[in-house]
């Protein structure tokens, strides 16, 4: 099977519900910091189309590289020698592996190929200052994939076909200037494209590869109409859409008549996240959505039964389908939980045999880690805000220090599963609250749109309201609360210190956006088609200048009264070094304690293992000093 993923305030009652046990517990042992933040042992297992060979990522000289096993029982050989982490790869055919690697610190990726035995490595897209993005793997077309590359103009991506065997790169379709996506049918014919002016989208379709495109749908970006795949007879489209509804549903759409035929599946609480398909049965077989946990909903009994069998074989863990052989008889399965990054398995559907391939982080003992529980609270204006609470495994769950973790992406959301920050902080004795404030994607368009132009305003209020909710539970000591985050979360951490100085004892900003004008005026070229959309979601530098000024940490840093740790990469294009210097100068002038962690080799975030570990060593000492949490010497 080939699965493709196109408040209660009574303390005792709350704690019982969250922990399932009494308050009297022995403190969990302090775990080595490196165990949380070093690279995984093995991750990303993928099986070759013929089902014979396995490839995965493993750390070599502290960088994730590709290893290959000729069979399950064979020893693995390393086939790449990359000085930077390889984060994504796939089997091009039974002999060739392709991988994407960043070529600079500006988010530009190139596509490489290498023989599964480690020979004939080649950069298939060696174009300076360009980046490549996979459009379609074209499962019925051997050795060919569709990609988009901004080769001629950094702001515009054209559509190309790459033959990984003969290494040719062929222009398929020139971009008219505002096309952001294409879709091919099952024969590899490109028959649909999506264009945007930044605010409005137009979906254009053609009946065959030789006919002209014509519009079949148009919508504002606040509405979703995303064709994921053609039906297997190439007549209809399966679309994730929230047109005329709040939540994204899966619908069958006739592009010839431009009509929605029927709703395949919709969930009343959350958006559908992915459509599941089988290229063997030539059917869409289910959907995947994110509620409290990720949930599969299957449309046919065979796949539902298969999933049930796997659940019985792997009790206590969530299951993710990580890939399959082309005939769908061999499946790569990944398990995970809130306390474990999990393991990889190979399941043979013919033999009903499950073989364990590897633990991802075997050095972590999940019995020593803390469960993550779903919580919700009301914002001051009546919205229900959802999040996750992780309670430390300490003797008494009362008046503990706490760390608030705003979402690292303004429109992303936290999901249930292992989170290194949450587990590390909990192990050091901190209560951890992760928040999916308004604007978080996945809870419907109204919830998402409620976050538009609310950076530092209602989005920040949601975070403050969550902090005060936690205090009311008497779990958190109101004098020992930190706010910490990365990227948008770092922005929110600084704004928390600015807007609610009495609430947070200290803050941590890791690569946080500090100047909204710079953020909006220096978007990367590949984001250019979405500039007007960003203006609607964050603010227009010209017409919303006062709002952006009032909600940029740079221009309000004189209001910070609590100690702050700021971590910054020298190659971060989203945050100017001079802006950070200005904030530090203001803190120093006002005699506010700060710790500055700077690494000249990092970009937006600390990606290298050794730099990440050094950063969290500083964070551990910083929190221990200001919140009096546990510290491992």
pLDDT in tens, 93-122: 999 999 999 887 677 899 999 999 999 999
pLDDT of the residue at 565? 98
pLDDT of the residue at 194? 97
Give the strands of the sheet with 200-205, arranged side by side.
179-184, 190-196, 200-205, 214-220
pLDDT in tens, 311-343: 999 999 999 999 999 999 999 999 999 999 999
Query: CA 239, CA 403: separation in Å to the nearest integer?
Result: 40
pLDDT of the residue at 7? 36
* For residues 468-473, average pLDDT: 95
Q: Which of 75-89, 102-116, 159-173, 467-481 has the lowest mean pLDDT?
A: 102-116
**Where do the DSSP E strands lie in 469-515?**
476-486, 506-510
Position 410 pLDDT exceeds 70: yes
Position 1 pLDDT exceeds 50: no
Query: CA 457, CA 139: separation in Å to the nearest integer?
Result: 47
Pairing between strand 564-569 and 594-599?
parallel
Pairing between strand 506-510 and 476-486?
parallel
Position 11 pLDDT exceeds 60: no
List Cβ neighbours of 464 (8 Å cut-off, separation of 6 or more). 496, 499, 500, 503
Pairing between strand 54-60 and 200-205?
unpaired
Vertex 402: Cα angle to 399 and 408 (nearest 5): 160
pLDDT of the residue at 302? 95
Tell me if 418 sits within 8 A of 336, measured CB to CB. yes
pLDDT bin (cut points 50, 70, 90) of residue 12 is very low
Identify the helix (H) or strand (E) that includes residue 306: helix 301-313
Fold equal for 1-6+41-123+318-368 and 374-627:
no
pLDDT of the residue at 26? 61
Of 457 and 128, the one with more pLDDT: 457
pLDDT of the residue at 257? 97
CATH for 374-627 (3.40.50.1820, 1.10.287.950, 3.40.50.300, 3.30.56.10): 3.40.50.1820
Position 454 pLDDT exceeds 90: yes
pLDDT of the residue at 3? 43
Burial 552-580 (b: 16+ CB within 10 A, else e): bbbbbbeebebbbbbbbbeebebbbeebb
How many other C-beta atoms are found inside a 10 Å radius of the C-beta of residue 322? 18
* For residues 591-607, average pLDDT: 94
* For residues 573-579, average pLDDT: 93
107: left (phi over 0), alpha (psi -120 to 50) or beta: left
pLDDT of the residue at 630? 84
Spatial CA neighbour of 236 closest among 300, 295, 282, 278: 282
Average pLDDT, the chain: 93
Token pair, residue 112, equals 């490489």
Quickly name the fold that domain 1-6+41-123+318-368 has: Lipocalin (2.40.128)
Give the strands of the sheet with 76-78, arranged side by side.
42-47, 54-60, 63-69, 76-78
Instruction: Provide the residue ranges of all domains of the chain, joining segments of one domain with +.
Output: 1-6+41-123+318-368, 374-627
List Cβ neighbours of 216 (8 Å cut-off, separation of 6 or more). 203, 204, 205, 255, 258
Half-sphere exposure of 404 (CA within 13 A, CB side): 35
Position 173 pLDDT exceeds 80: yes
pLDDT of the residue at 104? 76
Position 297 pLDDT exceeds 80: yes
Q: Which residue has the tokens 């009574």?
A: 10
pLDDT bin (cut points 50, 70, 90) of residue 25 is low
Position 586 pLDDT exceeds 90: yes
Position 16 pLDDT exceeds 60: no
* For residues 275-292, average pLDDT: 96
Query: CA 518, CA 623: separation in Å to the nearest integer?
Result: 30
Vertex 416: Cα angle to 491 and 294 (nearest 5): 125
Number of DSSP helices (H) and strands (E) in the chain, helices first? 12, 35
pLDDT of the residue at 14? 39
List Cβ neighbours of 632 (8 Å cut-off, separation of 6 or more). 30, 31, 32, 33, 428, 620
pLDDT in tens, 132-151: 999 999 999 999 999 999 99
* For residues 539-545, average pLDDT: 97
Token pair, residue 163, equals 């033959």
Burial 347-372 (b: 16+ CB within 10 A, else e): bebeeeeeeebbbbbeebebeebbbb
Position 268 pLDDT exceeds 90: yes
pLDDT in tens, 175-218: 988 999 999 999 999 999 999 998 999 999 999 999 999 999 99
Spatial CA neighbour of 110 closest among 139, 147, 78: 147
pLDDT of the residue at 86? 93
Q: What φ, ψ does residue 446 adopt, rounded to 5°? A: -65, -40
* For residues 500-525, average pLDDT: 95
Cα→Cα distances 493→341, 354, 463, 488, Å: 27, 45, 10, 9
pLDDT of the residue at 8? 32
């Amino acid at each position: 099977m080939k699965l493709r993923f196109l408040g209660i305030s009574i303390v005792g009652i709350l704690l019982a519900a969250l922990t399932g046990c009494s308050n009297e517990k022995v403190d969990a042992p302090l775990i080595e910091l490196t165990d949380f933040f070093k690279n995984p042992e093995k991750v990303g297992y993928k099986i070759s189309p013929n089902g014979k060979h396995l490839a995965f990522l493993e750390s070599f000289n502290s960088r994730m590289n590709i290893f290959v096993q000729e069979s399950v029982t064979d020893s693995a050989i390393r086939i790449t020698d990359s000085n930077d982490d390889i984060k994504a790869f796939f089997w091009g055919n039974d002999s060739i592996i392709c991988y994407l690697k960043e070529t600079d610190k500006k988010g530009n990726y190139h596509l490489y190929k290498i023989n599964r035995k480690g020979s004939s490595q080649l950069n298939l897209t060696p174009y300076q200052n360009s980046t490549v993005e996979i459009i379609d793997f074209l499962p019925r077309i051997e050795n060919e994939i569709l990609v988009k590359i901004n080769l001629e103009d950094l702001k515009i991506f054209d559509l190309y076909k790459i033959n990984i065997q003969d290494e040719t790169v062929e222009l398929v379709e020139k971009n008219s200037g505002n096309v952001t996506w294409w879709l091919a049918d099952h024969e590899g014919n490109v028959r649909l494209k999506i264009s945007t002016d930044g605010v409005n989208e137009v979906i254009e379709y053609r009946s065959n590869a030789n006919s002209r495109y014509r519009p079949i749908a148009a919508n504002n970006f606040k509405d979703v109409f995303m064709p994921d795949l053609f039906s297997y007879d190439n007549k209809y489209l399966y679309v994730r859409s929230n047109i005329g509804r709040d939540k994204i549903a899966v619908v069958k759409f006739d592009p010839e008549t431009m009509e929605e035929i029927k709703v395949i599946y919709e969930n009343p609480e959350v958006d559908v996240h992915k459509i599941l398909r089988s290229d063997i049965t030539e059917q869409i077989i289910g959907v995947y959505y994110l509620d409290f946990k990720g949930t599969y909903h299957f449309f046919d009994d065979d796949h539902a039964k298969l999933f049930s069998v796997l659940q019985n074989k792997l009790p206590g863990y969530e299951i993710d389908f990580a890939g399959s052989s082309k005939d769908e008889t061999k499946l790569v399965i990944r398990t995970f939980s809130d306390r474990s990054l999990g393991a990889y398995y190979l399941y043979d559907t013919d033999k009903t045999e499950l073989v364990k391939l590897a633990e991802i982080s075997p050095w972590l003992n999940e019995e020593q880690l803390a469960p993550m529980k779903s919580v919700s609270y009301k914002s001051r204006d009546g919205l229900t805000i959802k999040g996750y609470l992780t309670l430390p495994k300490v003797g008494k769950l009362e008046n503990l220090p706490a760390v608030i973790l705003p979402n690292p992406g303004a429109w992303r959301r936290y999901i249930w599963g292992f989170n290194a920050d949450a587990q590390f902080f909990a192990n050091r004795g901190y209560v951890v609250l992760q928040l999916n404030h308004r604007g978080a994607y996945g809870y419907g368009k109204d919830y998402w749109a409620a976050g538009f132009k609310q950076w530092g305003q209602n989005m920040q209020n949601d975070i403050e309201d969550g902090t005060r909710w936690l205090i009311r539970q008497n779990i958190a000591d109101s004098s020992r609360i930190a706010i910490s985050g990365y990227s948008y979360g770092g922005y929110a951490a600084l704004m928390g210190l600015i807007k609610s100085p009495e609430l947070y004892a200290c803050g941590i900003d890791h690569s946080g956006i500090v100047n909204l004008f710079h953020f909006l005026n220096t978007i990367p070229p590949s984001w250019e088609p979405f500039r007007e959309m960003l203006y609607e979601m964050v603010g227009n530098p010209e017409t919303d200048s006062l709002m952006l000024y009032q909600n940029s940490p740079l221009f309000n840093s004189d209001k910070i009264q609590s100690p702050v740790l700021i971590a910054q990469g020298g190659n971060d294009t989203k945050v100017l070094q001079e802006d950070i210097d200005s904030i530090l100068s203001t803190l120093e002038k006002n005699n506010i304690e700060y710790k500055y962690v700077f690494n000249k080799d990092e970009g937006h975030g600390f990606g290298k293992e050794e730099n990440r570990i050094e950063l969290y060593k500083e964070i551990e000492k910083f929190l221990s000093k200001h919140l009096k949490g546990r510290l491992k010497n």
